């Protein structure tokens, strides 16, 4: 019995996860040190408590047969949707986002729990509809994503909202949804953001603003553009479908269909996003051109790049980071924890973090490939998508090559809800791995 219990755990995943959490606690403590060498916050102590809670949850979900979650996944999903609605109305506002609810003296971020509930329920849907028409499956899967995505975006928490998209794309890809539908979704998202930010980017970033981009800031001209694109899409579809036109009509329909929908949705995006969120989507291209000589929206990017660069190859040494202790970095224990780490441990320390996360990704991919149960495959794909998106976006934004989206580095950044959710996800991966040979 003891050997069976011990065999349930993937010790490589556990070891790497715990190393990252311990490093996180060390650098959360470092972020609390001021220029006089005095710790001014106790976040590292709270993180240790959350770590203990997360380990207990991880062990539970490792032992628990993940397949039993199928029966309750719908109610879990619905419960989290109501929780997100409650948060939107009664939640506590922190850093311009109403993402938190208080349970006693403890703050909980429902959108973090929502990621797990979405993964479990979408996996059930994809497994139950394996024999259905692909386009029907994909459309219904999108409809399942819209409630948690929209409610999280309205908080507003753009970073966490986008995690739902990454999870959705990974899971639908693994469920044999045609790649063209996934490519359509990715291009739609990119064009929607582009059409929303181009007018501002044109004025603030480009050396010589392009007059053609002013079309997107004029409502009447933009509507004409939408109608023209929609007409081209309709003509392409009719010629291809009913007159058996050449294949390039298919691509005309595909491309202009994306443009039409993206133009319409860019209006919605402009209504939903706060001005500072919209600004973050393009200011990373040149943070010094933020209208305040580097002291506005580009400030965090500039200071983060300085911190990473000042670390050099060997780093300035633990507890010796000048940028973090001088309080130049905002949210330095959460979103910008990698900046502090790189400043104090340098390039080689950063390479270690890359290696640890890459090992987690490779291990998860191996588990997914070995799993014979479709539900396990989809759940694993969702967890992999969540981890990879957090890593790529967080590291990209602190290095100044991606927009600042306010997204933590899983296991490393401060945050109880994020840490517990991350460890629960590791527990699910170990549960899948232990039962990977079982078909049902």
Instruction: Assess whether pLDDT exceeds 90 at residue 201.
Output: no
Q: Largest alpha-carbon pair distance within the chain?
A: 77
**Cα separation of 350 and 335, whole Å?**
16
Nearest to 198 by CA among 185, 209, 187, 183: 209
When mean pLDDT is compared across 60-69, 297-306, 323-332, 380-389, the lowest value belongs to 323-332
**Cα separation of 388 and 394, whole Å?**
10
pLDDT (tens digit per residue) in 40-93: 788 889 999 999 999 999 999 999 999 999 999 999 999 999 999 999 888 887
Nearest to 22 by CA among 412, 415, 428, 437: 412
Q: What is the per-residue pLDDT for 168?
A: 96
SS3 for 15?
helix
Instruction: Assess whether pLDDT exceeds 70 at residue 252.
Output: yes
Residues 6 or more apart from 428 whose CB is under 8 A from it? 61, 66, 116, 379, 380, 383
Among all chains, which residue has been given the structure tokens 């000048």?
322
**Residue 271 binned pLDDT confidence (cut-offs 50, 70, 90):** confident
Q: What is the per-residue pLDDT for 272?
A: 81
Q: What is the per-residue pLDDT for 103?
A: 66
When mean pLDDT is compared across 216-220, 253-257, 338-342, the lowest value belongs to 216-220
- Distances from the Cα of 359 to the Cα of 13, 364, 403, angstroms: 8, 8, 26
pLDDT (tens digit per residue) in 382-396: 999 999 999 999 999
Q: What is the per-residue pLDDT for 293?
A: 47
SS3 for 70?
helix
Determine the average pLDDT of the residues in 343-355. 94
Instruction: Assess whether pLDDT exceeds 90 at residue 277.
Output: no
Distance of CA 184 to the CA centre of its chain: 19
Retrieve residue 290's tokens.
């933020």
In DSSP notation, 226-286 reads HHHHHHHHHHHHHHHHHS---THHHHHHHHHHHHHHHHHHHHHHHHHS-HHHHHHHHHTT-
Instruction: Assess whether pLDDT exceeds 70 at residue 294.
Output: no
Q: What is the per-residue pLDDT for 1?
A: 56
Instruction: Assess whether pLDDT exceeds 50 at residue 225.
Output: yes
Among all chains, which residue has been given the structure tokens 């039409």?
260
- The 3-state secondary structure of 317-333 reads CCCCCHHHHCCCCCCCC
Among 281-285, 323-327, 412-416, top mean pLDDT goes to: 412-416
pLDDT (tens digit per residue) in 19-47: 999 999 999 998 888 776 666 788 889 99
**Cα separation of 98 and 206, whole Å?**
34
* Model confidence, pTM: 0.93
Q: What is the per-residue pLDDT for 292?
A: 53
Retrieve residue 360's tokens.
């987690």
When mean pLDDT is compared across 126-135, 268-277, 378-387, the lowest value belongs to 268-277
Neighbours of 438 (CB within 10 A): 12
pLDDT (tens digit per residue) in 3-18: 777 888 899 999 999 9
Q: Which residues pair with 102 in a beta bridge?
A: 107
**Cα separation of 293 and 289, whole Å?**
7
SS3 for 103?
strand
When mean pLDDT is compared across 48-62, 172-186, 209-223, the lowest value belongs to 209-223
Instruction: Assess whether pLDDT exceeds 80 at residue 169.
Output: yes
When mean pLDDT is compared across 63-77, 186-200, 291-305, the lowest value belongs to 291-305
**Residue 104 binned pLDDT confidence (cut-offs 50, 70, 90):** low
**Residue 147 binned pLDDT confidence (cut-offs 50, 70, 90):** very high
**Cα separation of 87 and 90, whole Å?**
5
Determine the average pLDDT of the residues in 145-160. 91
Nearest to 201 by CA among 192, 188, 210, 190: 210
Instruction: Assess whether pLDDT exceeds 90 at residue 427.
Output: yes
């Amino acid at each position: 019995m003891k050997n069976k219990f011990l065999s349930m755990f993937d010790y490589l995943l556990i070891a790497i996860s715990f190393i990252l959490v311990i490093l996180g606690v060390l650098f959360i403590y470092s972020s609390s040190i001021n220029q006089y060498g005095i710790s001014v916050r106790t976040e590292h102590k709270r993180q240790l408590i959350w770590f203990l809670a997360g380990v207990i949850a991880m062990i539970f979900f490792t032992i628990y047969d993940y397949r039993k979650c199928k029966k309750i996944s719908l109610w879990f999903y619905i419960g989290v949707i109501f929780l997100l609605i409650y948060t939107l109305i009664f939640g506590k506002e922190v850093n311009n986002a109403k993402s938190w609810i208080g349970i006693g003296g403890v703050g909980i971020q429902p959108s973090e729990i929502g990621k797990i509930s979405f993964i479990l329920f979408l996996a059930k849907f994809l497994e139950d509809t394996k024999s259905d028409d692909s386009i029907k499956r994909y459309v219904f899967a999108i409809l399942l994503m819209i409630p948690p995505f929209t409610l999280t975006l309205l908080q507003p928490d753009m970073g966490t909202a986008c995690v739902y998209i990454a999870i959705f794309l990974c899971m639908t890809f693994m469920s044999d949804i045609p790649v063209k539908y996934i490519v359509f979704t990715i291009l739609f998202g990119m064009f929607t953001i582009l059409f929303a930010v181009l007018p501002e980017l044109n004025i603030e970033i480009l050396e010589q603003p392009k007059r053609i981009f002013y079309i997107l800031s004029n409502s009447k001209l933009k509507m004409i553009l939408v109608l023209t694109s929609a007409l081209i899409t309709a003509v392409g579809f009719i010629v291809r479908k009913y007159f058996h036109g050449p294949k390039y009509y298919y691509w005309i329909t595909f491309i202009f269909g994306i443009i039409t929908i993206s133009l319409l949705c860019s209006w919605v995006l402009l209504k939903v996003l706060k001005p500072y969120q919209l600004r973050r989507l393009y200011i990373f291209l040149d943070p010094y051109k933020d209208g305040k000589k580097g002291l506005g929206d580009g400030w965090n990017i500039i200071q983060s790049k300085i911190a990473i660069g000042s670390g050099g190859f060997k780093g300035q040494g633990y507890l010796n980071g000048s940028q973090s202790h001088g309080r130049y970095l905002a949210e330095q224990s959460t979103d910008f924890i990698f900046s502090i780490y790189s400043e104090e441990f340098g390039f080689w320390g950063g390479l270690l973090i890359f290696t640890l996360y890459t090992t987690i990704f490779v291990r998860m991919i191996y588990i997914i490939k070995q799993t014979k149960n479709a539900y396990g495959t989809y759940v694993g794909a969702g967890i992999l998508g969540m981890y990879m998106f957090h890593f790529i976006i967080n590291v990209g934004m602190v290095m100044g090559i991606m927009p600042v989206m306010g997204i933590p580095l899983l296991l490393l950044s401060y945050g109880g809800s994020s840490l517990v959710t991350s460890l629960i996800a590791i527990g699910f991966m170990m549960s899948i791995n232990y039962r990977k040979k079982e078909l049902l």
